[in-house]
């Protein structure tokens, strides 16, 4: 059965020193309008982070990422952004910013199951697992 649902996604990146422009992929945000799906997955590899950014305030980063997940899910505590419809939350989450946590440009694809696609993208683009 051919894939019938289009989706958009962005890679969540950690940029410990914005001036240097170096980043490490730490997650994925995926939005599939036809399936009414907005999801994000994170993977913080402590060993890679220790080598890449030993000065990083990891608890502060984790707090920001927790807020990102709250907004993505539209959960209580996510503030006014979390009350927006999924498409508006997605666009807010992937909007360009020059902070410690950034997203890649948005990419598109088609799938049958956005949850599986989100997990596959995390493995391929963040964890770098191959099948």
3-state secondary structure of 77: coil
Question: What pLDDT was estimated at residue 18?
Answer: 81
Do residues 112 and 101 make contact, with C-beta atoms less than 8 angstroms apart?
no
What is the distance in angstroms between the CA of the first residue and the CA of the last residue of the chain? Answer: 21
Q: Where are the domains of the chain?
A: 5-127
Confidence label for 17 from pLDDT (cuts 50, 70 and 90): confident
Distance CA 99, CA 107 (A): 21
The model carries a pTM of 0.92
Do residues 27 and 14 make contact, with C-beta atoms less than 8 angstroms apart?
no
Among residues of the chain, what percentage have pLDDT more than 90?
73
Question: What pLDDT was estimated at residue 98?
Answer: 78
Distance CA 128, CA 130 (A): 6
pLDDT tens for residues 18-70? 888 889 999 999 999 999 999 999 999 988 888 889 998 999 999 999 999 99
């Amino acid at each position: 059965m051919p894939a019938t649902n289009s989706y958009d996604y962005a890679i969540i990146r950690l940029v410990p020193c914005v001036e240097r422009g170096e980043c490490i992929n730490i997650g994925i945000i995926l939005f599939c309008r036809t399936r009414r799906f907005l999801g994000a997955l994170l993977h913080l590899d402590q060993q890679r982070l220790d080598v890449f950014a030993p000065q990083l305030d990891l608890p502060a980063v984790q707090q920001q990422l927790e807020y990102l997940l709250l907004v993505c899910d539209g959960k209580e505590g996510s503030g006014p952004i979390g009350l927006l419809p999924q498409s508006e939350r997605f666009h807010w989450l992937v909007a360009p910013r020059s902070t410690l946590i950034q997203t890649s440009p948005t990419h598109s694809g088609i799938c049958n199951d956005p949850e599986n696609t989100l997990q596959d993208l995390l493995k391929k683009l963040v964890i770098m697992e191959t099948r």
